[in-house]
Amino acid sequence: MREYGSAPDINIYGDQNLTFPYVTSHLHLMLFELVKNSLRAVQERYMNSDKDVPPVRIIVADGTEDVTIKVSDEGGGIRRSGLPRIFTYLYSTAKNLPDMEGPSEGVTMAGYGFGLPVSRLYARYFGGDLQIISMEGYGTDAYLHLSRLGDSEEPLP
């Protein structure tokens, strides 16, 4: 809303009262990043269009081993040539990259290239994972797998 003046709706499916133990700040960062990316992609794709803006869909699945959260959008997807780089630090699909050198006007929430790599790092550290599946020309599905077993060992070298 702050960046574009409007925003796509968000529809949530699954048990919205689900609770499970997790590090709240890490979960917030991972979900914030995925939802922000989807909202930005959809908004940028449809902001000059007469078509109805599709919602961003969040599906929560309560499995035996994992809680999986899928964030799905119709924001045009990621080019197949760019997919290998999305978990690379400093890589961004944002059109207007922030100026890291000078003062900025307001708060820039995209373009730094840290969100997805850090999100996947957090998920894996606690025994989960982050997978991105994209269809260029349509949209992207992000699967955040969060281990609920509590038997993951700290992944140290």
Domains of the chain and CATH, by start? 10-96+109-147 (3.30.565.10)
- Name the token pair of 136: 């260029």
Q: How is residue 80 written in tokens?
A: 């197949």
34 against 106, higher pLDDT: 34
pLDDT in tens, 104-124: 555 455 556 788 999 999 999
Q: What is the pLDDT of residue 96?
A: 61
pLDDT of residue 48: 86
Burial label, 120 (beta-carbon count in 10 A; 0-12, 13-18, 19+):
buried
How far apart are alpha carbons 112 and 8 in whole angstroms?
A: 23
pLDDT score at 110: 54
The chain-wide mean pLDDT, for the chain, equals 86
What sections of 1-157 are H helices per DSSP?
24-46, 115-125
Residue 1 has a pLDDT of 76
What 106-113 contacts at long range (C-beta under 8 Å, 24+ apart), as own/partner pairs, is 106/2, 107/2, 109/3, 109/36, 110/36, 110/37, 110/40, 113/88, 113/89
- Give the rounded percent of residues in the chain with a pLDDT score beyond 70: 82
pLDDT digits (tens, 9 = 90+) for 59-103: 999 999 999 999 999 999 999 998 989 999 887 776 665 555 555
Locate 53 and state its tokens: 């803006």
pLDDT given at position 53: 93
Displacement of CA 12 from its chain's centroid (Å): 15
CA pair distance 10, 39, nearest whole angstrom: 9
Binning pLDDT at 50, 70 and 90, where does residue 149 land? Answer: low
pLDDT of residue 114: 83
